[in-house]
Structure 1
Amino acid sequence: MTKLGQWKGKTCDSFFTEVLVQPDELIRETTNYRRTGKGTMNEEEEDGKGKEPGRVIHKEVQRSKKTAYQEFILISRNIISFILSAPILLILLSIATFKTAKVHLLEKTKRIQEDQEALKPDELLIQDETYYADRWGYKSEMHQVLTQDGYVLQMYRISKKGSNPQGKRPVFIGHGLFQCSGAFVLNEENSMAFVLIDQGYDVWVGNNRSISGLDHISLSHEDPEYWNWGLKELGIYDFPAMVDYVRSFTDFSKIAYIGHSQGNAQAFIGLSLIPELADKLSCFVALAPAVFSGNLVNTFPLCLLISLNDWMYSLMFGTGSFLSIMSLAQSLIEPKTFCFLAYSMFSYLFSWWDSHWLRRRKAKYFQFTPRPVSTKLIADWIAGWGRKGVCLYIADQNNHQQQKITQKVPLVVFYGTADYLVNGERFVRTFNGYETHGLSPSQLAKESSNHEWNTAKSTNTLFPMLDLVHVERIEGYEHMDTIWGHDNHKTTYPIVLSNLEKARWD
């Protein structure tokens, strides 16, 4: 568990209160508490299972005290943001649902996975990822992890029923933007978490702050102070806290990490700002690396969102949870109806479709997507990925000038040729030896004649602590297909497993 030092949470708004967290506000209690899909294990099941997970016990959190004027300003801003954002959301939703319905109605090509659609598993449609693990013969153990800035994160250690994962090589899996750890247990027996477990790994799936609970040791989620975090905090607090917790609990000095989209972006940020994190990783698998933006940032409607100035953005979306109405709708609307609405919106905005999915799984996916995130987090994505073409906090090579590298971490990258949200090719080309990756003959001839390009390419890497050992370019794959594709067990998992086997775990 990460030790908690003093921390001052500050915001850009003058009426926010300053919060000081003292170490004595945290009490950590080790108990026999172990959550599974069916409740708490009995004493017989506990015997011989290794270490016990702890619970973070903290004081009851009260809302921060504000004057009547501060409360009035806060309520007024919330009302204004709802009035401005709700009509835009409804217009976009209308366009998205019309486009999605049109695409499916006009679809004539038979998909190669069509025969699998009829093989419907005996599952409930439920917002509990531990249920899906239990359904397929696995147990889920809930762990609470405390970050240095006071957020309580939830991780799940998943293992085969009747087995003890202690002593097996640990693998930590991180989710993407608007998602949660449930994303990795929804493909039935071919779910990524289950395949890794069956191959003998100790699998941990993590959740960032606000994703699987709104706990903080001193802040209430009803106050803007709670939501004053973005990409940097995910990289320097959440990612290291979960890495350190898994290392400590499993008694391994190194663990493997698999991150999808924002899940790898926060790891890259962490490595950029805290380079010594590399010493704690045995292998890093980046699925759809969210470092450089694809050409989607130049298209409607994302280009309009990106073009908003900071003042207008804050006015429209507030300073708390980003479009919190999404979570409310998810809890109130019938799951299959919500699935159609959410899928329509996400596919329209981010250009990822269900071409490589089994459509019968979609309702499950959208019971775990979207999850709450901060308005500031989306602002960070806009500021870097949207306006500059590169994720914030990882583009400064000066961060690594004084770094002494003893051993590089093997990096494995997967990206799809139809992923327009991120540019995997450009990211791969930042590594020495891959400068021509993905370039056509004409592009290669043009770049080869560029003196500046030839001079810079030997020092181009953003991450000198990483050794790019394998790149898998998957034809036709979109942004979500590396975790939800119907054929992942053929396109992705064998390569992941072979590289994990080569990694050094000492």
Structure 2
Amino acid sequence: MMTSQVLVTLLLALLSHGTRAGFLDLPSDPLETIKSTIDSAKTGAEGIIGTVPELITDSLGNVLDINNVPVVARVPTPDLIAQNGYPVESHYVTTDDGYILNIHRIPKSKNGVSNGKVVYIQHGLMCSSVDFVLFGPKHGLAYLLSDAGYDVWLGNVRGNTYSRNHTRFSADDEEFWQFSWHEIGKYDIPAIIDYVLLKTQKEQLFHIGHSQGTTTFYVMLSEKPKYNDKVEAHISLAPIAFMGHLFSPLIRFVALGTEPLSQLLNMMGEYEFLPNSSFFTFLKEATCFRGIGKVLCKNALFAIAGFSPNQLNVSNVPVVVANYPAGASTRQIVHYGQEVKSKKFRMFDYGIYNVDHYTNGPPDYDLTRIETDMYLLYSSNDWLAAKVDVEHFYDQLLHSKVKYNIPIDTWNHLDYLFGNDAPKVVYKKVLEILSKYN
């Protein structure tokens, strides 16, 4: 199997081509570039990459203290919730295709308030339930919803830190990773909704999604429109459906190279994207947890999601980085790459194998099937959920819909989770929307 060391080296090499006029220039032959990069990485993997941790430790041992990590960074979601004084439960949901999902619940407010309503929050790509509790009761959306009296459920989809089990496969098996966000929307989200409604004895719930957590919701309603009746209202934070105007130069470059990269990674048996190996963990700790490294990692996040210097405290960078990536399949990345190139919101393109799945190539998702009340919260500086793409998606919706542009010019994709002003700018708005239904 291709090691994490080689994968990291490959990505670093691919991203070293630089930028010009805000967009990355592709090599004349991306496939050959990727092949040669992998060959070089493989050749030196054992002799060079394998010694990187030792080299870093020897040369920077007096500067870096990789054990000086905030305790919160290593605490599982249920333990973190309990430490903050909230009741917490852990539940397991089995999907129709065999994935076992570990989801978390704050069943009631610690202040005794209850309004009898249920809220299910779904994380984004390479993320987990910890997104909504990471920075404590005054900042975490899950806590604020619980304080307002909601029964809060936090989803975790297949392949992430909490959902790496299957009725037949191991996470080490190729078959385990043969999914994109299409399968998450088709199987995981409906299974979680059914489970939550069964446990709470409710007929409807509220659904809140961030990033991929919005994509999978749209997929579910397109594929299984009966779930419109099970969701009272949906709130999208940084909605992602159409991606033709994605601005992030880094992600755009990766997206345009996903097809050949995926083929090569599959040939080498690497089906999980950026697996959290001991080497990768060491790399994060050695570069992002101390001094100037925290600033560099903060800027790296900005290069992906959009620059928003006043929203993410440098002191919080180690906490964020320690929890990411939380797990995803290579096919999820490829599917998003296809969205960028095609400028369409459609099913996975299997290339020459499309004939095994479709009659006339990958079909577009039928957005006319979405009938749930929809609230889209977006921003002008989001480099992943571009304003023009969000508004195009909004125009495709035929039923009850509201869009809200975050009134901060620099608000980016990650600020919905980690922004200093998220509680007063975003979460306050979320609570206002939900209160209309109480």
* TM-score category of the 2 structures, normalised to the smaller one: 0.7 to 0.9
User: 1:302 and 1:487, CA in 2 relative to 1: closer, same or farther beyond 3 A?
Assistant: closer
Match of 2:67 in 1: none
Structure 1 residue 398 displacement after superposition: 8.0
SS in structure 1 at match of 2:166? coil
Match of 2:9 in 1: 87
Structure 1 residue 353 displacement after superposition: 5.0
Structure 1 residue 92 displacement after superposition: 6.3
Asked whether the 8 Å contact 2:265–2:271 carries over to 1, the reply is no
Match of 1:365 in 2: 320
Q: 1:184 aligns with which of 106, 109, 132?
A: 132
User: 1:278 and 1:259, CA in 2 relative to 1: closer, same or farther beyond 3 A?
Assistant: same
Match of 1:59 in 2: none
| Corresponding residue pairs, total | 365
Match of 2:414 in 1: 480
Match of 1:467 in 2: 400
Q: 1:206 aligns with which of 155, 169, 181?
A: 155
Match of 2:356 in 1: none
Match of 2:225 in 1: 275
Asked whether the 8 Å contact 2:406–2:426 carries over to 1, the reply is no
Task: Please give the alpha-carbon distance, in whole angstroms, between the structure 1 residues aligned to 2:287 and 2:364.
Answer: 47
Structure 1 residue 329 displacement after superposition: 3.8
Asked whether the 8 Å contact 2:81–2:133 carries over to 1, the reply is yes
Instruction: Please provide the CA RMSD for this pair.
Output: 3.2
Q: Which amino acid aligns with 1:193?
A: A
User: 1:242 and 1:126, CA in 2 relative to 1: closer, same or farther beyond 3 A?
Assistant: same
Tell me the alpha carbon deviations over residues 200-259 of structure 1, each in whole angstroms, 9 at most, x when there is no partner.
000000100011131000012111111000021011001111111111110111000010
User: 1:151 and 1:203, CA in 2 relative to 1: closer, same or farther beyond 3 A?
Assistant: same
Tell me the alpha carbon deviations over residues 32-84 of structure 1, each in whole angstroms, 9 at most, x when there is no partner.
xxxxxxxxxxxxxxxxxxxxxxxxxxxxxxxxxxxxxxxxxxx5xx37x975x
Q: 1:409 aligns with which of 367, 372, 392?
A: 372
Match of 1:219 in 2: 169
Structure 1 residue 368 displacement after superposition: 1.8
Q: Which structure has greater helix proportion?
A: 2
User: 1:142 and 1:428, CA in 2 relative to 1: closer, same or farther beyond 3 A?
Assistant: same
Structure 1 residue 343 displacement after superposition: 4.6
Tell me the alpha carbon deviations over residues 353-406 of structure 1, each in whole angstroms, 9 at most, x when there is no partner.
55312332222222221111111111111112x2122443499678467x6x9x
What is the 5 A alignment of 1:415-454?
A: 415-431=378-394
User: 1:319 and 1:342, CA in 2 relative to 1: closer, same or farther beyond 3 A?
Assistant: farther
What is the 5 A alignment of 1:8-407?
A: 75=1, 78=2, 83=6, 85-91=7-13, 124-159=72-107, 168-188=116-136, 189-211=138-160, 212-293=162-243, 295-296=245-246, 299=249, 301-308=250-257, 310-316=259-265, 318=268, 320-329=270-279, 331-332=281-282, 335=285, 337-338=287-288, 340=294, 343=298, 345-351=300-306, 354-384=309-339, 386-393=340-347, 399=366
Task: Please give the alpha-carbon distance, in whole angstroms, between the structure 1 residues aligned to 2:121 and 2:256.
Answer: 33
SS in structure 1 at match of 2:165? coil
Q: Which amino acid aligns with 2:343?
A: G
Task: Please give the alpha-carbon distance, in whole angstroms, between the structure 2 residues aligned to 1:470 and 1:302.
Answer: 25
Structure 1 residue 191 displacement after superposition: 0.8
Task: Please give the alpha-carbon distance, in whole angstroms, between the structure 2 residues aligned to 1:187 and 1:344.
Answer: 20
User: 1:355 and 1:327, CA in 2 relative to 1: closer, same or farther beyond 3 A?
Assistant: farther
Structure 2, unaligned stretches of length 5 or more? Answer: 19-69, 349-361
SS in structure 2 at match of 1:383? helix
Structure 1 residue 314 displacement after superposition: 1.6
Tell me the alpha carbon deviations over residues 319-346 of structure 1, each in whole angstroms, 9 at most, x when there is no partner.
5443445443454457474454765544
Task: Please give the alpha-carbon distance, in whole angstroms, between the structure 2 residues aligned to 1:359 and 1:140.
Answer: 30
Task: Please give the alpha-carbon distance, in whole angstroms, between the structure 2 residues aligned to 1:186 and 1:126.
Answer: 10
After the TM superposition, which of the residue ranges 369-378 and 466-475 deviates more from structure 2?
466-475
SS in structure 2 at match of 1:178? coil
Structure 1 residue 287 displacement after superposition: 0.2
Q: Which amino acid aligns with 2:425?
A: T
Q: TM-score, with normalisation over the residues of structure 2?
A: 0.74
Asked whether the 8 Å contact 1:134–1:140 carries over to 2, the reply is yes
User: 1:497 and 1:298, CA in 2 relative to 1: closer, same or farther beyond 3 A?
Assistant: closer
Q: Which amino acid aligns with 2:184?
A: L
Task: Please give the alpha-carbon distance, in whole angstroms, between the structure 2 residues aligned to 1:396 and 1:316.
Answer: 26
User: 1:305 and 1:95, CA in 2 relative to 1: closer, same or farther beyond 3 A?
Assistant: closer
Task: Please give the alpha-carbon distance, in whole angstroms, between the structure 2 residues aligned to 1:400 and 1:256.
Answer: 19
SS in structure 2 at match of 1:176? coil
Of structures 1 and 2, the larger Rg is shown by 1
Asked whether the 8 Å contact 2:78–2:90 carries over to 1, the reply is no
User: Where does structure 1 differ by over 6 angstroms across 4 or more consecutive aligned residues?
Assistant: 92-96, 163-167, 394-398
User: 1:484 and 1:132, CA in 2 relative to 1: closer, same or farther beyond 3 A?
Assistant: same
SS in structure 2 at match of 1:474? coil
Structure 1 residue 160 displacement after superposition: 5.2
Tell me the alpha carbon deviations over residues 123-145 of structure 1, each in whole angstroms, 9 at most, x when there is no partner.
64424222321232213210000
Structure 1, unaligned stretches of length 5 or more? Answer: 1-74, 97-121, 432-459
Q: Which amino acid aligns with 2:302?
A: S
Q: Which amino acid aligns with 1:134?
A: A
Task: Please give the alpha-carbon distance, in whole angstroms, between the structure 1 residues aligned to 2:306 and 2:123.
Answer: 19
Task: Please give the alpha-carbon distance, in whole angstroms, between the structure 2 residues aligned to 1:488 and 1:305.
Answer: 29
Q: Which amino acid aligns with 1:496?
A: V
Task: Please give the alpha-carbon distance, in whole angstroms, between the structure 1 residues aligned to 2:109 and 2:228.
Answer: 32
Asked whether the 8 Å contact 1:229–1:376 carries over to 2, the reply is yes
Asked whether the 8 Å contact 1:146–1:241 carries over to 2, the reply is yes
After the TM superposition, which of the residue ranges 321-330 and 181-190 deviates more from structure 2?
321-330
Asked whether the 8 Å contact 1:167–1:250 carries over to 2, the reply is no
Task: Please give the alpha-carbon distance, in whole angstroms, between the structure 1 residues aligned to 2:158 and 2:91.
Answer: 14
SS in structure 2 at match of 1:357? coil
Asked whether the 8 Å contact 1:417–1:474 carries over to 2, the reply is no
Q: Which amino acid aligns with 1:196?
A: L
